[in-house]
């Protein structure tokens, strides 16, 4: 079982995908925001050819899309991510949990701790966005990543 999969157990019943490998690909892409074939192969412990077959099936269902990225010398590689259609498979009932969690943190640690958490998150998101923009070599890729 994937280490973070416990967080998504209820989601696994929601994802309308019978094949457990494809479910795991969807979960990995959701968690990582996108991966290439080699990364998926390493995470799941199956061949790159096997991953390609599963990705093709998910593309046909409109759940996965890709963009090309340069990886140094040679041909660009494909970077796979979930489509909006696939993202809709995941539950979005986080608001009440988040509000309860923030209230508890504020009660135990004070308002400064909540503010610190929001600053940390903002900085982490900005760093990730900068990395996505910098990793795209084409202008259209840079624009899409923002």
The residue extents of the domains of the chain are 1-90, 93-146
The residue-averaged pLDDT of 43-71 equals 94
Predicted model pTM:
0.55
Classify each residue of 49-64 as buried b or exposed e, where b means 16 or more C-beta atoms within 10 Å of its C-beta: eebeebbebbeeeebb
- Measure the CA–CA gap between 2 and 43, rounded to whole angstroms: 9
- Measure the CA–CA gap between 115 and 121, rounded to whole angstroms: 10
User: Which contiguous run of DSSP H or E holds residue 129?
Assistant: helix 111-135
Return mean pLDDT, the chain. Answer: 84
Give the CA dihedral 8, 12, 17, 23, nearest 10 degrees. 40
- Contact 35/28 with Cβ under 8 angstroms? yes
Question: Of 65, 66, 31, which is closest to residue 23 (Cα–Cα)?
Answer: 31
85: pLDDT strictly greater than 60? yes
3-state secondary structure of 66: strand
Backbone φ, ψ for residue 69 (5° rounding)? -135, 140
Instruction: Centre a 10 Å sphere on the Cβ of residue 20 and count the other Cβ atoms it contains.
Output: 9
Q: What is the DSSP letter of 111?
A: H
3-state secondary structure of 81: strand
The residue-averaged pLDDT of 29-54 equals 95
Please, which pLDDT band fits residue 117 given cuts at 50, 70 and 90?
very high
Third-level CATH fold of 1-90 = Arc Repressor Mutant, subunit A (1.10.10)
Please, which pLDDT band fits residue 144 given cuts at 50, 70 and 90?
low
The residue ranking higher by pLDDT, 76 or 66, is 66
141: pLDDT strictly greater than 80? no
């Amino acid at each position: 079982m994937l280490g973070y999969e416990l967080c998504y157990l209820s989601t696994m019943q929601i994802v309308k995908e019978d094949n457990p490998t494809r479910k795991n690909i969807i979960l990995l892409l959701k968690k990582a925001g996108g991966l290439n074939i080699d990364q998926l192969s390493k995470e799941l412990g199956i061949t790159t050819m096997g991953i390609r077959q599963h990705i093709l099936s998910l593309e046909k269902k409109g759940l996965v899309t890709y963009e090309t990225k340069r990886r140094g010398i040679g041909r660009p590689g494909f970077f796979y991510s979930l489509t909006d259609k696939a993202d809709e498979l995941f539950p979005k009932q986080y608001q009440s949990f988040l509000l309860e969690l923030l209230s508890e943190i504020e009660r135990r640690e004070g308002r400064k701790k909540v503010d610190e958490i929001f600053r940390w998150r903002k900085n982490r998101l900005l760093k990730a966005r900068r990395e996505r923009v910098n990793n795209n070599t084409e202008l259209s890729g840079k624009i899409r990543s923002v």
